[in-house]
Amino acid sequence: MQVSVENTSALERRMTIAVPAERVESEVNKRLQQTARRAKVPGFRPGKVPMSVIRQRYEEAARQEAFGDLVQSSFYEAVVEQKLNPAGAPSVEPKSFEKGGDLEFVAVFEVFPEFTVAGLESISVERLSAEVAESDLDNMLEVLRKQNVRFEAVERAAQNDDQVTIDFVGKVDGEVFQGGSAKGTQLVLGSGRMIPGFEDGLVGAKAGEERVVNVTFPEDYQNLELAGKAAEFTITVNAVAAPELPELNEAFFAQFGIKESSLEGFRTEVRKNMERELRQAIKAKVKNQVMDGLLAANPVEVPKALLQNEVDRLRVQAVQQFGGNIKPDQLPADLFEEQAKRRVVLGLIVAEVVRQFDLKPDDAKVREVIEEMASAYQEPEQVIAWYYKNDQQMNEVRSVVLEEQVVDTVLQKATVTDKSVSYEDAVKPAQAPAAE
């Protein structure tokens, strides 16, 4: 087999492969012999059909089948021989495939970029540290209470944080507009759920009262036909209800799956969850900085095939997340290209760090990660046992651990500055997108 390779770009390769006629005819004959054993031809018993008849009837199909198999097998042999690492399936262009002659074809494909991860010393990371203070715990308990607030009917005028039940009709230029009317809507005043001015106009209203509220839709309103326009809403207040925060008692604790009868026991469980969230938040922020640093220090050209595969994957995820009857390929590719490129480049860089530093998942860290996840459940030992019985789940955990080891490897060479912050600042989402 003869192979020649041309570099048509940094990543694209044009490989010409010639398969000797003897190998081609051997593959064709092999298929014809297989066909002869099972072919049913009128006038002949199965297995007794003359080869001349078999050739006349089936040689063309056997030759096409041999062509497909030879292209696949010889391409694989050629890339191994040439020490190439294809990043996707090749496009194949036949050059010659005549009976009795060599099979010659051209395969055009991209290869994975070859590079060495560098610049680890240039990466700067700010590593946060924080503790869960008693005040943080108190604030969290109030948040949990507010998330489970009940509303009780009152006869006084409505104020912020009250829930009003309303009917309303909206008009623009004196005409009722689509989506601007509703009945029996429950609205918490001050929640910011409605357009600016709507909720403010109901402060002080009582049950049974009708109010006319004039507002202006924001310039960036999602419905472009209404953006920037003045509107008039006629609102009937049917009921006013005041918020009633639940008591911190056993019934409240049970809503969170916590079997505690004492407030102190509940606080202990909530603290554990907050500390777990804190560890994860700090770890995620460090990881984001490391990944951003690796990207900045290691510009990598992305194979088009990998980029397209990632764009397609993101399209599918978007459809699954938002639903609707749209098909993934109907979503514009450019919506996902930036995110897809980041993912692909990071994947290549992380894989190279793993190879370069010969990293392997540490069993102790795997156990540690599983125990951390299991600690959020009532029966952690059962969760741990379940992970160790599921190969797929274990492989996912090993991937997570391997990525953490990549981060640790970079931190050993990067410039790391430690900074103490409050719990709230530590768990606050970072402005930059999370590394994938």
Q: What is the pLDDT of residues 376-403, one digit of tens each?
A: 888 899 999 999 999 999 999 999 999 9
- Distance, CA of 189 to CA of 205 (rounded, Å): 11
% residues pLDDT > 90 (the chain):
78
Question: Is residue 130 in a domain?
Answer: no
The predicted pLDDT at position 266 comes to 94
Q: How far is CA 397 from CA 150, 393, 403, 406, in A?
A: 40, 6, 10, 14
Question: For the segment 17-29, what is each residue's pLDDT rounded down to a tens digit?
Answer: 999 999 998 988 8
Average pLDDT over all residues of the chain: 92
What is the average per-residue pLDDT within 292-300?
Answer: 96
Give yes or no: residues 225 and 266 share one domain: no
- Distance, CA of 246 to CA of 416 (rounded, Å): 45
pLDDT at residue 9 tops 70: yes
- Distance, CA of 211 to CA of 169 (rounded, Å): 11
Under the banding of pLDDT at 50, 70 and 90, the label for residue 323 is confident
Q: How far, rounded to the nearest angstrom, does the alpha carbon of residue 297 sit from its chain's CA centroid?
A: 24
What is the average per-residue pLDDT within 276-281?
Answer: 95
Question: Is residue 254 in a domain?
Answer: no
Whether 405 contacts 365, CB under 8 Å: yes
What is the average per-residue pLDDT within 113-129?
Answer: 96
Give yes or no: residues 365 and 416 share one domain: yes
Question: Is residue 129 in a domain?
Answer: no
Question: Is residue 251 in a domain?
Answer: no
Give yes or no: residues 234 and 271 share one domain: no
- Distance, CA of 206 to CA of 227 (rounded, Å): 30
Question: For the segment 37-72, what is each residue's pLDDT rounded down to a tens digit?
Answer: 777 788 787 777 788 887 888 888 888 889 999 999
Give yes or no: residues 234 and 285 share one domain: no
Give yes or no: residues 286 and 223 share one domain: no
The predicted pLDDT at position 370 comes to 95
Q: For the chain, first and last CA: distance in Å?
A: 42
Our CA angle for 312, 296, 313, nearest 5°, is: 10
The predicted pLDDT at position 435 comes to 40
The predicted pLDDT at position 432 comes to 47
**Residue of 198, 206, 190 whose CA lies nearest to 169:** 198
CATH number for the domain spanning 215: value is 3.10.50.40
Give yes or no: residues 96 and 155 share one domain: no
Burial of residue 81 (CB within 10 Å: 0-12, 13-18, 19+) is exposed
Give yes or no: residues 85 and 192 share one domain: no
pLDDT at residue 324 tops 80: no
Give the pairing type, strands 124-129 and 415-420: parallel
**Amino acid identity of 12?**
E
Question: Is residue 421 in a domain?
Answer: yes
CATH number for the domain spanning 367: value is 1.10.3120.10
Give the pairing type, strands 2-7 and 124-129: unpaired
Whether 103 contacts 72, CB under 8 Å: no
pTM for this entry: 0.77
Which of 213, 244, 275 represents a domain boundary (last residue)? 244
Under the banding of pLDDT at 50, 70 and 90, the label for residue 431 is low
Residue numbers of the domain that contains 329: 259-427
Question: Is residue 122 in a domain?
Answer: no
**Number of structural domains the chain divides into:** 3
Q: What are the tokens at 393?
A: 């789940």
